[in-house]
Amino acid sequence: MTRHGTLALVGGGEWSEGCEFDAALLATSGGTEVVVLPTAAAFEQPRKAVDTATRWFESLGATVRALDVLQRRDALDPANVAAVRAARFLYLGGGSPLHLRSVLKETPLWEALDDAFNEGAVVAGSSAGAMVLGDPMVDPRGGAFTVGLGLAPNVAVLAHASSDVARDHKRTFELAGAGVVLAAIPERSALIRGADGVWASAGQKPATIWVDGEERGFDALPQITPPGS
């Protein structure tokens, strides 16, 4: 399926100084509202996450609309589904990637997010939010692979990446199948795919791309055909 929207995979530390790339994402969205899903932080003070997002985006001249999608039944709520489908900028915060996936997978809300993205919306995810947007997804319980939601196919996100990615994620590197792209993204940094299909790094430190144990350029990432090509 051709993807029309802009995708931002953030390594963590979202909604804080150093994440000025959010201003460019906001401009790309063409709006002044960000719909925030604190789902991954359902058991880790989701309201605190929303308050942090609200302060951050207010400093960028935007407002935050928080959707309390904290368990699976919330992802079936028609009002939440409609809000996601109408959004121009959607942001999935950090926390537990496994909980986030269990809440969103194969639900009307996820279908609405996918529809919004294909119609040009900006979708951002940080830490757990970034991890679930890829497929495969790295299981935080031991570094093996599991199923992600697939907005970025054949990309496994390594969030909170350090300068020695291969050491810190040794098991993940060992288990990665041939051709699987590992995207190592530091905190307050982002790997962004524009609507034109071009990938770029933004933020405090550059993201790095690894395939078959070797560091590669961004051309190793899945190439997306932009609309009208």
**How do strand 152-153 and strand 63-66 relate by DSSP bridges?**
unpaired
The pTM score is 0.95
Nearest to 193 by CA among 15, 13, 28: 28
Q: How far apart (Å, rounded) are the C-alpha atoms in residues 29 and 87?
A: 9
Measured CA to CA, the distance from residue 183 to residue 134 in angstroms comes to 10
Backbone angles phi, psi at 151, to 5 degrees: -70, -25
Summarised one tens digit per residue, pLDDT across range 126-144 is 999 999 999 999 999 999 9
Report the DSSP beta bridge partners of residue 6. Answer: 122
Q: What contacts 136, CB < 8 A, 6 or more positions away?
A: 145, 146, 147, 148, 156, 180
Superfamily of domain 6-220: Class I glutamine amidotransferase (GATase) domain (3.40.50.880)
For residue 155, the cross-strand partners are: 135, 181
Return all residues near 128 (Cβ < 8 A) that are at least 6 apart.
40, 92, 93, 94, 95, 96, 97, 100, 159
Q: 3-state secondary structure string, 32-62?
A: CEEEEECHHHCCCCHHHHHHHHHHHHHHCCC
pLDDT, mean over the chain: 94
Domains of the chain, residue spans: 6-220
Quote the CA–CA distance of 168 and 161 in Å, as a whole number. 8
Q: Summarize the confidence of residues 75-100 as an average pLDDT.
A: 98
Residue 221 to residue 98: CA distance in whole angstroms: 24
pLDDT (mean) for 58-74: 98
Q: Given a cut of 80, is residue 228 above it in pLDDT?
A: no
Q: How far apart are alpha carbons 99 and 111 in whole angstroms?
A: 18
Residue 7 C-beta-side C-alpha neighbours within 13 Å: 28
Residue 68 in this model has a pLDDT that exceeds 80: yes
pLDDT in tens, 158-217: 999 998 999 999 999 999 989 999 999 999 999 999 998 999 999 999 999 999 999 999
Beta-strand runs (E) in the chain: 6-10, 33-37, 63-66, 89-92, 122-126, 134-135, 137-138, 145-146, 152-153, 155-159, 181-185, 189-193, 199-203, 208-211, 214-216
Contact between 123 and 90 under an 8 Å Cβ cutoff? The reply is yes
The pair phi, psi for residue 108, each rounded to 5°, is: -60, -30
Residue 222: the pLDDT is: 81
